[in-house]
């Protein structure tokens, strides 16, 4: 019978934090890639 | 540029301290145990995503009122970062829900309206790609943003208006002070980071808009010289 | 694009937004009764025979002292109450770890003609209290029922 307290919750915590950090890191990477491309096209233009 | 750097530094600093407190200093919850630590990323994601959508709504109104494209740049920035946080919100909530409620998902009002919110604002970003020109694009996006925004207050109030599986908003009265601290730190940290990313995305939009403003013959010449 | 046209679009958009919001409000509040996410034990009982057979959700608190596990280890029985009425439940589900006496649950299943609710989807409802362990928990029945009754179907 469960005692009303969740044990072994760390795996969920690690999963949630990992997904958060990974997704935000990918987003920042995508921003920097797009930023470099936009800068390049602006430089080409002048 | 400088303001963006400042925001990122402040954001990373606050989030680092907040995460440290959230994972290692704050006590586990008496019933949820350690799983409750998901709150320190889940609640800030929700707050900041909804704040960004609210900003996007304001930018949309400003755009339609003034016609200045800088509002379009900011609007797309706010929406894009908002959608990223909205997606994270759903994943974090699903993990938390599996551990506490026993299910990954259920069609309760809070979960459903949050999913609808993500789909609507992602839809605005898709719609942008279909517009024939810059002016249409900014107008379509602004109109779509105003319509999509209707769901945002619904997400907030639905748990007070209707029965749901999701609990209603907590407040400092219902949360242990040792848990409020990491929640605050992470919220401000994410707020600063999100604002920095929004401004960054807006700057990208601005420069790519300028690049496409170059008259066509010049562009053809540029592309030819690039291939040569 | 001239100013007037742009501002007309702004006016139409805001009007559209308000109209959709108003329509949504009316639609939701008038059908609110049919749109309830879960029924309370009293509501389900009041429906009587009409409620039997179809898949519905039942929400309430696990009654103190009512939990028992069948010898086969697969079936759990307990009662769900809202302070007014209570409904006996047979759950063929592994209960979430937080399942205990006095906690809120939402069950998806069917009301049998014998008045027993059968479910295979047992969800535990958490309230908005987050406290450190050790702080003495008061099983405040009134407060628990109050959290359960948030959202009576009308905004």
Whole-angstrom Cα distance, residue C7 to residue C49? 57
Whole-angstrom Cα distance, residue B9 to residue B11? 5
Whole-angstrom Cα distance, residue B66 to residue B153? 26
Exposure string of B78-100, with b = 16+ CB inside 10 Å and e = fewer, is: bbbbbbbbbbbbbbbbbbbbbbb
- pLDDT for B223 equals 58
pLDDT digits (tens, 9 = 90+) for C38-91: 999 998 988 877 888 888 999 999 999 899 988 777 899 999 999 889 999 999
Report yes or no on C15 lying in a domain: yes
- pLDDT for C8 equals 82
Cross-chain Cβ contact C103/A5 below 8 Å: no
Provide the 3-class DSSP secondary structure of residue C99.
coil
C31, C48: one domain: no
C86, C123: one domain: yes
- In this structure, what CATH number is given to the domain that contains residue C55? 2.40.50.140
Q: Which of B38, B87, B193 sits opposite A12 (nearest CB)?
A: B38
Contact present, C33 and C152 (Cβ < 8 Å):
no
- pLDDT for A1 equals 44
Q: Which of residues 99 through 138 in chain C touch A, CB cutoff 8 A?
A: 99-100, 103, 133
Q: Does B27 touch chain C (CB under 8 A)?
A: yes
C75, C106: one domain: yes
- pLDDT for B225 equals 61
C110, C143: one domain: yes
Question: If DSSP states are collapsed to H, E and C, what string results for chain B?
Answer: CHHHHHHHHHHHHHHHHHHHHHHHHCCCECCCEHHHHHHHHHHHHHHHHHHHHHHHHHHHHHHHHHCCHHHHHHHHHHHHHHHHHHHHHHHHHHHHHHHHCCCCCCCCHHHHHHHHHHHHHHHHHHHHHHCCCHHHHHHHHHHHHHHHHCHHHHHHHHHHHCCCCCCCCCCCCCECHHHHHHHHHHHHHHHHHHHHHHHHHHHHHHHHHHHHCCCHHHHHHHHHHHHC
Contacts of A16 in chain B (CB under 8 A): 38, 41-42, 91-92, 95-96
Searching chain A, which residue's CA lies closest to the CA of residue B81? A27
C9, C48: one domain: no
Tell me how close the Cα of A25 comes to any Cα of chain B, in angstroms.
Answer: 11
Residue ranges of domains in chain B: 2-227
Return the structure tokens found at C108.
Answer: 């998806």
For testing the chain B interface, which of A16, A17, A18 should be mutated: the one with the most B CBs within 10 Å? Answer: A16
Please, which chains are in contact with B (at least 3 CB pairs closer than 8 A)? A, C
Return the structure tokens found at B143.
Answer: 């109109």
- pLDDT for C147 equals 56
Return the structure tokens found at C54.
Answer: 């179809």
Report yes or no on C84 lying in a domain: yes
Report yes or no on C55 lying in a domain: yes
Q: Which helix (H) or strand (E) holds C15?
A: helix C3-30
Q: Does B91 touch chain C (CB under 8 A)?
A: no
Cross-chain Cβ contact B34/A44 below 8 Å: no
Whole-angstrom Cα distance, residue A2 to residue A8? 13
Which range scores top for mean pLDDT: B39-43, C35-39, C95-99?
A: B39-43
Instruction: Indicate whether this complex's ipTM tops 0.85.
Output: yes
Report yes or no on C90 lying in a domain: yes
Q: Which residues pair with C62 in a beta bridge?
A: C80
Contacts of C59 in chain B (CB under 8 A): 163
Return the structure tokens found at A8.
Answer: 């072994």
Contacts of A20 in chain B (CB under 8 A): 41, 45, 88, 92
Report yes or no on C91 lying in a domain: yes
C22, C59: one domain: no
Report yes or no on C153 lying in a domain: no
Contacts A–C by Cβ distance under 8 A:
22
pLDDT digits (tens, 9 = 90+) for C134-144: 755 554 555 55
Searching chain A, which residue's CA lies closest to the CA of residue C96? A2
Read off the pLDDT of each residue in B177-194 and give the average, rounded to a whole number: 96
pLDDT digits (tens, 9 = 90+) for B89-136: 999 999 999 999 999 999 999 999 999 999 999 999 999 999 988 888
Report yes or no on C154 lying in a domain: no
C115, C73: one domain: yes
- For B117, counting Cβ atoms within 10 Å of its Cβ (0-12 exposed, 13-18 middle, 19+ buried), the class is buried
What number does CATH give the domain B2-227?
1.20.120
Cross-chain Cβ contact C97/A1 below 8 Å: no
Query: What is the pLDDT confidence band of residue B222, given thresholds at 50, 70 and 90?
Result: low
Question: How do C86-91 and C104-111 pair as beta strands?
Answer: unpaired
Contacts of B210 in chain A (CB under 8 A): 42, 45
The dihedral of CA B156, B158, B161, B166: what is its sign?
negative
C23, C53: one domain: no
C71, C24: one domain: no
Provide the 3-class DSSP secondary structure of residue C89.
strand
The range of the structural domain enclosing residue C19 comes to 1-35
CA C2 to chain centre: 52
């Amino acid at each position: 019978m469960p005692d009303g307290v969740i044990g072994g919750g760390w795996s969920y915590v690690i999963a949630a934090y990992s997904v958060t950090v990974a997704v935000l890191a990918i987003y920042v990477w995508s921003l920097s890639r797009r930023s470099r491309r936009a800068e390049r096209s602006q430089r080409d233009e002048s | 540029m400088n303001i963006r750097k400042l925001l990122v530094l402040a954001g990373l600093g606050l989030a680092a301290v907040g995460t440290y407190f959230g994972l290692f200093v704050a006590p586990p919850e008496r019933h949820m145990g350690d799983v409750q630590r998901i709150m320190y990323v889940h609640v800030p994601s929700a707050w900041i995503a909804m704040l960004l959508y609210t900003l996007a709504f304001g930018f949309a109104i400003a755009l339609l009122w003034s016609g200045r494209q800088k509002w379009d740049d900011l609007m797309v920035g706010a929406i894009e970062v908002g959608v990223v946080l909205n997606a994270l919100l759903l994943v974090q909530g699903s993990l938390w829900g599996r551990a506490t409620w026993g299910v990954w998902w259920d069609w309760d009002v809070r979960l459903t309206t949050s999913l609808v919110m993500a789909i609507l604002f992602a839809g605005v970003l898709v719609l942008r790609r279909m517009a024939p020109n810059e002016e249409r694009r900014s107008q379509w996006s602004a109109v779509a943003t105003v319509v999509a925004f209707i769901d945002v207050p619904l997400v907030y109030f639905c748990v007070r208006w209707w029965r749901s599986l999701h609990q209603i908003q907590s407040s400092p009265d219902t949360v242990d002070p040792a848990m409020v601290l990491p929640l605050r730190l992470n919220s401000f940290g994410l707020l600063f980071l999100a604002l920095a990313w929004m401004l960054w995305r807006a700057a990208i939009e601005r420069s790519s808009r300028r690049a496409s403003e170059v008259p066509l013959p010049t562009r053809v010449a540029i592309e030819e010289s690039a291939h040569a | 694009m001239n100013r007037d046209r742009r501002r007309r679009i702004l006016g139409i958009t805001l009007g559209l937004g308000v109209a959709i919001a108003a329509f949504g409000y009316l639609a939701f509040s008038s059908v609110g009764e049919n749109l309830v996410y879960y029924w309370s034990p009293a509501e389900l009982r009041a429906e009587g025979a009409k409620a039997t057979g179809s898949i519905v959700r039942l929400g309430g608190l696990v009654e103190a002292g009512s939990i028992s596990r069948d010898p086969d280890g697969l079936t759990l029985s307990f009662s769900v109450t809202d302070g007014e009425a209570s409904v006996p439940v047979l759950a063929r589900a592994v209960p979430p770890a937080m399942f205990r006496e006095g906690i809120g649950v939402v069950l998806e299943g069917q009301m049998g003609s014998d008045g027993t609710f059968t479910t295979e989807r047992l969800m535990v409802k958490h309230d908005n209290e987050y406290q450190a362990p050790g702080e003495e928990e008061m099983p405040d029945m009134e407060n628990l029922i109050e959290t359960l009754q948030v959202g009576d179907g009308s905004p």
